[in-house]
Amino acid sequence: MPAAILDGSKIAAEIRSEVAAEVKALSAAGMRPGLAVVLVGNNPASEIYVRGKVKSSGEVGLYSEQHTPSDRATTQQLLDLIADLNRRDEIDGILVQLPLPPHVDSKKVLLAVDPAKDVDGFHPMNVGFLSTQRPGLVPCTPAGVMEMLERSEIRIAGQEAVIVGRSDIVGKPMAMLLLNANATVTVCHSKTRDLPGVCRRADILVAAIGRAGMITKDFVRPGATVIDVGMNRVTDAQEFERLFAGNSKREETFRNKGSVLVGDVHPQVAKVAGAITPVPGGVGPLTIAMLMSNTVKAAKMRRGTRVPELART
């Protein structure tokens, strides 16, 4: 029996609808939440991501503005911009699109963002809040995965969860969120011995390693829930054959475009998993939905008692 498909686009639409209702209530009280996006230089991939974020902001009713310093901007100039955004009361969320140019001290710039406006959830203070189960802003992708599991009624408490990947953006916060939800959590990485054997213990397997189709059927216990965080573009014909041999729809896409998207999970895993996220259309849409949600959350936390009762739900 093929795996149930966990539709990230559908769940993201539900979240955006809820966010839009909160934004409407806050705006009616004169407190429209605001998001500022900082995009340095002309990185084509970053420009696509930022366009998506700005478009989503408009769709849910957030105030948004985009700041586009040139790729020659210095660390100090960016710090000055962040300081100005920190001071402005109408800006509730600040997002610095990565990567920054090589000459910029990225860590210094990210650290300068007010933790109360850190809608990416990367600031050490928010990381600390997450690890000690205090209210704060949580990284968007892991937060989206939790929404997907909960809204799909997939049991977390008491389950064994395995995460492949230990990044600060996904792996580590994912581990803390699952641990806080009473799962038993193992985090794997490049030095893990017998990686397939460890993964096969999982009731919930999260792949966030950044390698196309690395998680194959022998990594997955039959019936497990598999969350694929990866997004890899395959352009090599031999690699495409390894992943999609016999898939006529993907073969047509590859012929026409010369590339195809695949996650960190091999498509054949769908034959053994109990539930699985597709790529595209799985975790990706949830990341932007949770950015919108985090902006509203930041507005409510910052504005405290001024928030109308309706928007507290």
Go through the domains of the chain in sequence order and give each one's CATH number.
30-114 (3.40.50.10860), 140-285 (3.40.50.720)
If one counts every other C-beta atom within 10 angstroms of the C-beta of residue 143, the result is 25
The answer to whether 97 is a known catalytic residue is yes
Residue 202 exposed, middle or buried by CB count within 10 Å (0-12, 13-18, 19+): buried
Q: What is the pLDDT of residue 313?
A: 45
The answer to whether 53 is a known catalytic residue is yes
Among candidate residues 97, 114, 117, 300, the one labeled active-site is 97
Among candidate residues 92, 114, 118, 120, the one labeled active-site is 120
Angle (CA) 259-263-264 rounded to 5° is 125
Long-range contacts of 43-46 (CB under 8 A, 24+ apart): 43/99, 46/97, 46/98, 46/99
Among candidate residues 53, 172, 297, 300, the one labeled active-site is 53
Q: What is the pLDDT of residue 199?
A: 98
pLDDT, one tens digit per residue, over 224-262 is: 999 999 999 999 999 999 999 999 999 999 999 999 999
pTM of the model: 0.93
pLDDT, one tens digit per residue, over 133-142 is: 999 999 999 9
The answer to whether 92 is a known catalytic residue is no
